[in-house]
Amino acid sequence: MHVGAHVSISGSRVSSDEETPPYDDVRNAVHRQVAFGGNCGQIFTTSPQVWAQPEIDDEAAAGFREATAEKLDGPWVIHSAYLVNLCTPKEDLRRKSRESLQAELDAAEKLGVPYVNVHLGAHTGAGVEGGLDNAAEVIDSLAIPDGVQLLVESDAGSGTKLGGEFEHLAGIIDRTETDVGICIDTAHTLVAGNDLTTPGAVDETIGRFDDVVGLEHLEYIHLNDSKHDVGTHKDEHAHIGEGYIGEDGMRAIVNHPDLRDLPFALETPTEDGRGFEWNIEKTRELRDA
């Protein structure tokens, strides 16, 4: 089973005996993933809250690639900055989004990471069709390196954000000449209006995704439970099996024949004395042999 967490590249220690350098370094992500018990996962290459370019020197990149090959089994994915908005009608914001996303794609090539994950963003008045057109224009202007694939993530769908409906994901695939993949976030999918709380509901939702988008485009899953119910459009993650998806829904997701071989990256909270290690172990407990 390929399961891990979204881990930091910071030099702060997880435990006193961890081998992380005392400064930001992508190699820290591998040590941290191992400490949590994960074998794949997700990173930010820089602060997601600001327009900043990744700063990864050749030594760190080589160390990251070597440590990943030695200690992990599944693929990494880089999550783009939160500021990126591909759907916006504002040309300046689209330009900054394009430059930021291109930098992440180039970083992925340097690190040997096969995926970069991005949200479509909000159309802010351009309308659904206009927003999808804007996003497709940005995506097709990118120079995507060989061996790297751009993944569009499903969204909770609040306000004018796109990606909450499967039709939005299909729309961006249809509009682009780029080989775009999809990353489904289970918490986002639930609160956007798709039931995942029972085995039957999971089957129905996956079947609808296949009909609208196509399972052949699904490359990665953000496995998160939700603190809010179906259709609320509120994005707040919960511990695995302890939110509105619950153990029955989570067990159905991680064992579903169309999903079980995909990589799962957790973005669960650190609270109540539990963090990624507990959630990764819980995920494995829900997995059938």
Q: How confident is the model at residue 177 (pLDDT cuts 50, 70, 90)?
A: very high
How far is Cα of residue 226 from the mean position of the Cα atoms in its chain? Answer: 15
Beta strand extents in 186-247 (DSSP E only) = 218-223, 225-226, 237-238
Give pTM, 2 decimals: 0.95
Residue position matching structure tokens 């909770």 = 156
How far apart CA 99 and CA 95 sit, in angstroms, is 6
Domain ranges for the chain: 3-286
Going from the C-alpha of 284 to that of each of 36, 155, 177, 251, 287, the distances in angstroms are: 13, 25, 37, 10, 5
Q: Is 89 helix (H, G, I), strand (E, B) or coil?
A: coil
Predicted pLDDT at 74:
87
What CATH number does domain 3-286 carry, 3.20.20.150, 3.30.450.20, 3.40.50.2300, 3.40.50.10860? 3.20.20.150
Q: Express each pLDDT in 32-60 by its tens digit.
A: 999 999 999 999 999 999 999 999 999 99
Q: How confident is the model at residue 14 (pLDDT cuts 50, 70, 90)?
A: low
